[in-house]
Amino acid sequence: MNLTDILKNEIRDIPDFPKEGIIFKDITPILLKPAICEQIVDHILNEIKQPFDCIVGIESRGFLLGMPIAIKAKVPFVPARKKGKLPGETESYSYTLEYGEATLEIHKGHIKKGAKVLIHDDLLATGGTALATSKIVQKLGAEVVGFSFLVQLSFLNGVDTLKNVSSNFYKIIEY
Ligand code: AMP
């Protein structure tokens, strides 16, 4: 089986979570299988063509594979977290969600000015979260050189939201 089929087998659809009408793509069964996780890390690193010198993972599922990808690529990993979670001084960006607002933060001083940053998350839906993360990276004087996701919900057109930041976009499976 190729990796796409393996992931389609493992990822569970949870209907009406966290609210009615949403089909939540649960990636946690993948984490039970270290050999599959290793394959994902190798696959993503193999696909990415342009150099990067830092990975920013988005809270919280972007940490799960973002960190092992960074370890294997031998680059720093920097978490983008929800407001109020990071203890040090942060740069932040607020954005609109379907209901209300959200703010993401990154520690100041953890991304070097001019660094080439790859943004990683488990899933791309509308792209709002990844775009907000890009804005913080840019405020910190670094450059977003690409995005990687395990899953893309293509009917939500997230790639269009991100294309002005970087057209380097990697995903393993698409629904
Ligand atoms: P968006 O900002 O719309 O691209 O939403 C992406 C963020 O929300 C990611 O951090 C995902 O983990 C999460 N997310 C959105 N929709 C889903 C879904 N259907 N299943 C799992 N996670 C989702």
pLDDT at 97 over 90: no
In ligand 1, which atom is closest to the CA atom of 128?
Answer: 2
Strand 77-82 versus strand 54-58 pairing type: parallel
Plot region of 136 (φ>0 → left; ψ -120 to 50 → alpha; else → beta): alpha
Residue 71 CA to ligand 1 centre (angstroms): 24
Confidence of residue 98 (pLDDT cuts 50, 70, 90): confident
Query: pLDDT by residue (tens digit) across 68-93?
Result: 999 999 999 999 999 999 999 999 99
Catalytic residue among 61, 81, 91, 105: 61
- Of 51, 127, 67, nearest to 96 (Cα)? 127
| Ligand 1 pocket mutation, candidates 81, 129, 169, criterion most atoms within 8 A of CB | 129
Residue 55 CA to ligand 1 centre (angstroms): 19
Q: Which amino acid is at 98?
A: E
Q: What is the pLDDT of residue 100?
A: 86
Residue 123 CA to ligand 1 centre (angstroms): 5
Query: pLDDT by residue (tens digit) across 30-78?
Result: 999 999 999 999 999 999 999 999 999 999 999 999 999 999 999 999 9
Look-up: residue for tokens 């670094």?
A: 142
CA distance 66 to 80: 11
Confidence of residue 99 (pLDDT cuts 50, 70, 90): confident
- Mean pLDDT within 116-144: 98
Q: What is the 3-state secondary structure (H, E, C) of 47-98?
A: HCCCCCCEEEEECCHHHHHHHHHHHHHCCCEEEEEECCCCCCCEEEEEEECC
Cα 120 vs. chain centroid, distance in angstroms? 3
- Of 55, 51, 59, nearest to 111 (Cα)? 55
Tell me the percentage of the chain whose pLDDT exceeds 70.
100
In ligand 1, which atom is closest to the CA atom of 61?
Answer: 12
Ligand 1 pocket (Cβ < 6 Å) reads: 22-25, 58, 61, 121-129, 158
61 flagged as catalytic? yes
Average pLDDT across the chain, whole number: 97
Strand 90-96 versus strand 169-174 pairing type: unpaired
* Helix H or strand E segment including 119: strand 116-124
